[in-house]
Amino acid sequence: MANILKISRIGHPVLREIAKEVDPELIGTPDFQRFLVEMVETMREYNGVGLAAPQVHVPLQVAVLEVKTYNERYGKTEEIVPLTFMINPQLAGTSGGQVLDWEGCLSVPGLRGEVPRWERITVKYLDREGSPQTLEAEGFHARVIQHEWDHLQGMVYLDRMKDMRSLSFNEEFSRYQL
């Protein structure tokens, strides 16, 4: 069983630092590989769709993503975003204009708001083996990547909101926005 890591919340300075690049030589070490597993287990424990290392008090350029949803009609779990490990990610391109949709964040518990994000992006990163990858993503997948990438720049989704009036507690969102 992997360790569940403690989540940092806004106000903690680690969320406002620019995370440091990972030395590619470190990626294959047992300590780093264990840290990746702990990040995945922590993301799953708290039902996150992504998690960036600063959110577990580690100021390194590492993020994990995974989105699964249970499809009642087919009675099975579908993978919307496969489990992805992004080390030293760089946004290499954006297109399609910006679209508004709801986001929440484990570091801003209980709240959500409407955030503009690029419809399509290209991101380059090192995977868990340290191999370079280029990924094109769109829609919700692109949104999750941009949200996690922001964390590595010391930003949270609140900084991206153009109109704070959509900010809602989850209970009020369920009552009035759904």
Residues at the contact surface with Ni ion, assessed by CB under 5 A: 105
Choose between 1 and 164: whose C-beta lies nearer to Ni ion. Answer: 164
Choose between 26 and 108: whose C-beta lies nearer to Ni ion. Answer: 108
Of the candidates 56, 15, 14, 65, the residue with the CA atom closest to the CA atom of residue 35: 56
Give me the least distance between CB of 170 and Ni ion, in Å please.
Answer: 15
* Backbone φ and ψ of 124, nearest 5°: -115, 140
Residues 6+ apart with CB under 8 A from 156: 10, 15, 105, 107, 108, 150
Longest dimension (CA), the chain: 50
Of the candidates 114, 148, 171, 172, the residue annotated as catalytic is 148
Give me the least distance between CB of 157 and Ni ion, in Å please.
Answer: 6
Q: Convert 71-132 into a string of H (helix), E (strand) and C (coil).
A: ECCCCEEEEEEEEEEEEEEEEEEEEEEEEEEEEECCCCCCEEEEEEEEEEEEEEEECCCCCE
Residues 6+ apart with CB under 8 A from 31: none
Choose between 80 and 175: whose C-beta lies nearer to Ni ion. Answer: 80
Active site residue 172: no
CA 102 – CA 118 distance, rounded (Å): 14
Choose between 125 and 150: whose C-beta lies nearer to Ni ion. Answer: 150
Give me the least distance between CB of 73 and Ni ion, in Å please.
Answer: 30
Give me the least distance between CB of 13 and Ni ion, in Å please.
Answer: 16
Q: Which residue is nearest to Ni ion (CB)?
A: 105
Three-state DSSP state, 47: coil
Please identify every residue annotated as catalytic. 148
